[in-house]
Amino acid sequence: MNIILVSNRLVKTRSITLGAWQIMFLLLLLSGLMLGAAFTLQYTLVRFAPEGLSDEIRTLLSEVQSDEQQKQQFYLHSSLDAMAVRVGQMQAQVQRLDALGARLAKLTGMKPEEFQFSQPPAQGGPLVVFPEQKMSENGLDQQLDRLSHVVNDRSDKLLALETMLLQNQLSRKLLPSIPPVHEGFYSSNFGWRIDPFTGANAMHEGVDFVADAGTPIYASAGGVVAYASYQPDYGNMVEIDHGNDIVTRYGHASKLLVKVGQVVRRGEKIAEVGSTGRSTGNHLHFEVRYKGIAQNPVRFLQKATS
């Protein structure tokens, strides 16, 4: 392509030859300038002269803007719904921990006012302000994940602690921990004494509680009745197996109220005071044996908790 330049200032005409690449470049440049001018015009009309837009353009722009806002609102609501579900799950877990904490406080004998699980803990302190740091949605989600893992871990550990406390409490209930009679007094302690029938020095393998005939006799701990019948030395006797090689005996009863194989609870009435067998009067002979060897019952009654 040849371009001839003619001017009054020029003595001679000039000729410019353009190749295919130069022509293509000029066309692209011209197209770019036209597009830039069109965008500039459109921006100017929208930004500075909205009143001059036609109804069709206004409607189109409004629809585009409305669609974009709907997408943003949908994304925002979806994120909020997901976080609300997470928060609801954590609230349920916290309620479980509150209930578990209340049970543990009761098991350990803490006073109710020491731990108010139904109320938020008291807080306070001086105000120290730092530059505000905005947390992103991804960061908040990570914090919720971490907090959820911590709550689950604490829940597992507290449940394990509750199991141990319940086992210990059950073990204490299987120890002779309450007096077998609520009325009466010691008439003969555990240990060596003068036998009331022979006058010889003899070992007394239990303690005697003097009480009126018919006074209720209670199981000192929970267990299974291993013997409930007459025995020449003990008279009417009840023997209870509490497990862990611990056995209690209740002798000289006037009346037996349990049978062999029966499960009894701590504090349950099992017999009534009398003077049967080798006895000089109404009283209860109470023994505690561990692995068949007689132990001082007073030690169990003093150390064990009810």
- The pLDDT profile of the chain, 306 residues, written as one tens digit per residue, is 555 655 566 556 666 666 666 667 777 777 778 877 766 766 665 665 555 556 666 676 666 667 777 777 777 777 767 777 777 777 777 777 777 777 777 766 666 555 565 666 666 777 766 665 555 667 677 777 777 777 777 777 777 767 777 666 666 667 888 899 988 777 788 888 888 888 888 899 999 999 999 999 999 999 999 999 999 999 999 999 998 889 999 999 999 999 999 999 999 999 999 999 999 999 999 999 988 999 999 888 865 444
Give the Cβ contact number of residue 192 at 10 Å.
Answer: 9
The rounded distance, in Å, linking the Cα atoms of 298 and 209 is 12
Q: How far is CA 201 from CA 132, 142, 155, 189, 198, in A?
A: 87, 79, 60, 14, 9
Decide: helix, strand or coil at residue 199. coil
Give the pLDDT of residue 288: 93
Give the pLDDT of residue 208: 94
Give the pLDDT of residue 304: 46
Nearest to 252 by CA among 270, 279, 228: 279
Q: Whose structure tokens read 């086992």?
A: 167
Helix or strand holding residue 250 (H, E): strand 246-256
The rounded distance, in Å, linking the Cα atoms of 7 and 35 is 32
The rounded distance, in Å, linking the Cα atoms of 220 and 206 is 14
Class of domain 185-303: mainly beta
Residue 207: beta bridge partners? 286
Q: Sketch the domain layout of the chain as residue ranges.
A: 2-48, 67-115+138-173, 185-303
pTM: 0.50
Q: Whose structure tokens read 């578990």?
A: 100
* Identity of residue 85: V
Quick check: 238 and 272 in contact, CB under 8 A? Answer: no
Angle at 105 between CA 101 and CA 107, to 5 degrees: 115
Give the pLDDT of residue 150: 74
The rounded distance, in Å, linking the Cα atoms of 104 and 97 is 10
Give the pLDDT of residue 50: 52
Q: Whose structure tokens read 């004998």?
A: 109
Pairing of strands 207-210, 283-290: antiparallel
Give the Cβ contact number of residue 63 at 10 Å.
Answer: 10
Decide: helix, strand or coil at residue 142. helix
Which residues lie below 8 Å from residue 290, measured CB to CB, with a gap of 6+? 245, 246, 247
Quick check: 235 and 274 in contact, CB under 8 A? Answer: yes
What's the token pair of residue 300?
């169990």
